[in-house]
Homo-oligomer: A and B are copies of this chain.
Amino acid sequence: MLEENENIQFQLTDELIEQVELLIENQNDKELHQLLDEFHHADIAEILDELNLEEAMYIIKLLDSETTAEILMELDEDNREKVLRNLSSKEIAEEVEELDTDDAADIIAELSEERQQEVISHIEDEEHKEEIRELLAYDEDTAGGLMAKELVKVYDTWTVAGCLRRIRGQAEEVTRVHSVYVVNKQEKLVGRLSLKDLIVAKNEQKIADIYISSVDYVNEHDEAEDVARVMQKYDLEAIPVVDDNHKLLGRITIDDIVDVMKEEAEKDYQLAAGITSDVEADDSIWELTKARLPWLLIGMFGGLGAASIINGFSDAMLRYPALMLFVPLIQATAGNVGVQSSAIVVQGLANNSIDGKILSRLFKEFLLGLVNGVAIAAIVLLISHFVFGTTYKESLTICIALIAVIIMAALIGTFIPIFLDKKGIDPAVATGPFITTSNDVFGILIYFLIAKLIIGF
């Protein structure tokens, strides 16, 4: 139980890394043990992430499997993959035996199909093996994929005293007991109890008389994102998972949900920035290029589309060169407005705070675009006339085009995410370069069309 450490102020310093590397080089196992035993497994994982594979393997082999199993869970995904590749199936099975079923299944799921079967066949605890098999069948983005089989379960026919006695047995396997789940003879979830309720209750009371029948739960096939939303909304620390017949299958704890939320937020942020797969600053140039180039290419085709449009109006451009000066302004404004509108809609959709009335929402964006557009156009009118000396018609063109482009960008930025959401596509893909690019092209087209109307070329 010494797994939690007081080293809140743990600092991953170069000195520490050097010290560890030196101890490994000298094969000074005793001092390595002394040093690492002080740290939380999450801290040791941070150290391992900084070492080379050979050094990391040295430490993995040195420490006992109870510790290394937890370290494995905390390693950077790329590094975990490398370490697992250097362990035999039997060794992985030993690690996995130490983990809760949800973590065990997560590790095994990262292996190849063939390796998965090998590792599972080496797991000695038959129950653990069966439970891991069960969990591996779920999609990782569902409640079933998140849940652990470890939980404390009591039958409604038991007494408080009997309960406490049996819980002592069950609880040893469960790292943290949030709630005690109450089931009936058919193993169906009927309610819950907190340990506190049990402690406060009298020994001879029946569970049936004291349990709380209103209990939040999710279905095994519910999406991870929905589970996160429910747990957050109702401030839950754990939630039981049931099947369609209401049979209790497992439980999901808040620490896993925190990870889901974090990944979700990072993914949305990266999508908004035009990064298509999960990358980190320390990934290789090749991986970063794979994640970044696709959006740059979309932006490139947008830019070439804009070039075609300008090319189509090239005669007008030569006669009214002042118009060309404001192409970047039109383009930048369209992009900025579109990103703003889409970000607000994407967040609203994620929080379930946007209802179905698309038309009223678009009308609001229209008004908002009008307000912002008039404000910006007024300033640009003054500057274009007095600084750049544009003619009356040119100034009018720029101002009307700005207002039109801002309204268009706001409408597109609002409509596309709502549309994608209705089609079952993650609206987060709509923000960032995608909206920016389409708004760039439409914005420039609108600008020249309005110029044609007003100036008449």
Which A residues have a C-beta under 8 Å from some C-beta of B? 1-2, 4-6, 8, 40, 42, 164, 167-168, 171-172, 174, 176-178, 194-197, 199-200, 212, 214-218, 230, 232-237, 254-255, 257-259, 261-262, 265-266, 268-270, 272-275, 279-282, 285, 288-289, 292-293, 295-297, 299-300, 302-304, 306-308, 310-311, 314, 317-318, 321, 324-333, 335-337, 339-340, 342-345, 347-348, 351, 353-354, 361, 364, 367-368, 371-372, 375-376, 379-380, 383-384, 387-388, 406, 431-433, 436-437, 440, 444
Find A272's partner among B197, B237, B273, B344 (CB 8 Å cutoff): B273
Contacting pair B368 A6 (CB below 8 A): no
How far, in whole Å, are A279 and B371 apart by their CA atoms in the complex? 17
Q: Which residues of B contact A388 (CB under 8 A)?
A: 307, 311
Contacting pair B272 A269 (CB below 8 A): yes
How many copies of this kind of chain does the complex include? 2
Q: Which residues of B contact A337 (CB under 8 A)?
A: 292, 296
Q: Which residues of B contact A215 (CB under 8 A)?
A: 4, 6
Residue in chain B with minimal CB distance to A306: B328
Q: Which residues of B contact A343 (CB under 8 A)?
A: 269-270, 272-273, 275
CB within 8 Å for A340 and B304 given contacts A171-B196, A335-B335, A348-B280: no
Chain B nearest Cβ from A444, distance in angstroms: 6
CB within 8 Å for A273 and B342 given contacts A282-B353, A317-B321, A348-B281: yes
Contacting pair B329 A303 (CB below 8 A): yes
Contacting pair B344 A281 (CB below 8 A): yes
Q: Which residues of B contact A311 (CB under 8 A)?
A: 325, 388
Chain B nearest Cβ from A108, distance in angstroms: 20
Chain B nearest Cβ from A301, distance in angstroms: 9
How far, in whole Å, are A379 and B300 apart by their CA atoms in the complex? 9
How far, in whole Å, are A398 and B288 apart by their CA atoms in the complex? 24
Ordered by A's residue number, 10 sampled pairs between the chains whose C-beta atoms are within 8 Å are A1-B212, A4-B234, A5-B216, A5-B234, A42-B235, A176-B237, A237-B254, A281-B344, A304-B329, A314-B321
- 16 extra interchain contacts, Cβ-Cβ under 8 A, other than A167-B199, A195-B196, A261-B265? A1-B212, A176-B194, A176-B237, A270-B343, A279-B344, A281-B345, A281-B354, A281-B361, A282-B348, A296-B406, A297-B379, A307-B329, A307-B384, A317-B321, A328-B440, A332-B335
CB within 8 Å for A332 and B331 given contacts A168-B200, A310-B324, A324-B317: yes
The A interface, classified by DSSP as helix, strand, loop or mixed, is helix
Residue in chain B with minimal CB distance to A443: B328
Chain B nearest Cβ from A205, distance in angstroms: 14
How far, in whole Å, are A364 and B288 apart by their CA atoms in the complex? 11
CB within 8 Å for A285 and B325 given contacts A177-B194, A196-B171, A200-B172: no
Residue in chain B with minimal CB distance to A233: B42
Residue in chain B with minimal CB distance to A169: B200
CB within 8 Å for A6 and B433 given contacts A280-B348, A292-B340, A353-B281: no
Contacting pair A332 B299 (CB below 8 A): yes
Find A296's partner among B171, B265, B376, B384 (CB 8 Å cutoff): B376
How far, in whole Å, are A345 and B324 apart by their CA atoms in the complex? 35
Q: Which residues of B contact A178 (CB under 8 A)?
A: 237
Q: Which residues of B contact A257 (CB under 8 A)?
A: 258
